[in-house]
């Protein structure tokens, strides 16, 4: 499953790189590199995006879910040597993956219970979220007791097979999305203005305004 996921993700990455960029015929007003730097730094902070700035709870829930995913993937890589790790370290990882699974489950339930989310959610949305939640839960269980490692590996295999063909593949397109956005705002000379606005909002927030 891991080999399949690596090959499939690598193929998607190569296909996306070969796609031609939209030709921008306007006269450049700035440097694309400056925009790319902004897109991957200040452009990613929550107060630079209205959707995150106005919905902090949802934003933080998503952050916790993704931290749990990264911890779960790290645990999966290290899983053959679980017994060699200190109990405290395994306990900390179990806490992070369990919390991440909980936040993911809340997000999954929101897609069912919140009418706006339910209206736009597809079967792939539901499947992707719950596969990752189950992976994190089985990872938590395996961190607590190594006897459940086979269950974790089976769930990880299902998730890895589905990842390149379902919504989870956004982990690849995220980087291209930020890259294209950064090139656009840099070429249009907007990156400096956007960065100044982010810093202003940051100062306002730090003063409790």
* Confidence at residue 181, expressed as pLDDT on a 0 to 100 scale: 84
With a CB cutoff of 8 Å and minimum separation 6, the contacts of 69 are 100, 132, 136
- 43: nearest Cα among 197, 146, 208, 158: 197
* Confidence at residue 43, expressed as pLDDT on a 0 to 100 scale: 79
**pLDDT, tens digit, for every residue of 82-138?**
989 999 999 999 999 999 999 999 999 999 999 998 999 999 999 999 999 999 999
- Give the pLDDT band of residue 20 (cuts 50, 70, 90): confident
- 46: nearest Cα among 196, 198, 160, 192: 198
- Give the pLDDT band of residue 203 (cuts 50, 70, 90): low
Whole-angstrom distance, CA of residue 194 vs CA of residue 187: 13
Compute CA distances 43 → 3, 57, 114, 194, whole Å: 33, 19, 28, 8
Q: Which residues of 52-72 are buried (b: 16+ CB within 10 A; e: fewer)?
A: beeeeeeeebeebbeebbebb
Crossing angle for the helix pair 87-113 and 123-144, to the nearest 10 degrees: 160
Question: What is the arithmetic mean of pLDDT over 167-185?
Answer: 87
Q: Kindly report the pTM of this predicted structure.
A: 0.82
**pLDDT, tens digit, for every residue of 33-71?**
888 888 888 778 777 777 777 778 888 999 999 999 999
Where is average pLDDT lowest: 58-67, 159-168, 195-204? 195-204
Compute CA distances 129 → 66, 107, 159, whole Å: 11, 8, 10
Whole-angstrom distance, CA of residue 41 vs CA of residue 178: 10
């Amino acid at each position: 499953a891991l080999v399949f996921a690596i090959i499939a993700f690598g193929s998607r990455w190569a296909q996306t790189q070969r796609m031609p960029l939209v030709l921008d015929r306007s006269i450049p007003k700035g440097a694309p590199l400056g925009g790319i730097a902004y897109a991957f730094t200040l452009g990613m902070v929550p107060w630079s995006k209205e959707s995150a700035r106005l919905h902090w709870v949802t934003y933080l829930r998503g952050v916790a879910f993704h931290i749990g995913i990264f911890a779960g993937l790290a645990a999966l890589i290290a899983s053959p040597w679980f017994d060699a790790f200190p109990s405290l370290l395994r306990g900390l990882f179990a806490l992070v993956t369990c919390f991440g699974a909980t936040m993911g489950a809340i997000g999954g339930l929101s897609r069912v219970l919140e009418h706006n989310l339910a209206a736009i959610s597809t079967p792939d949305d539901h499947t992707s979220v719950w596969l990752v939640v189950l992976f994190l839960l089985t990872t938590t269980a395996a961190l607590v007791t190594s006897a459940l490692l086979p269950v974790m590996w089976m769930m990880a295999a299902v998730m890895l097979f589905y990842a390149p063909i379902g919504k989870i593949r956004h982990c690849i397109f995220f980087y291209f999305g930020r890259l294209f956005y950064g090139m656009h705002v840099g070429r249009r000379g907007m990156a400096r203005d956007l960065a100044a606005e982010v810093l202003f909002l940051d100062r306002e927030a730090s003063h409790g305004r």
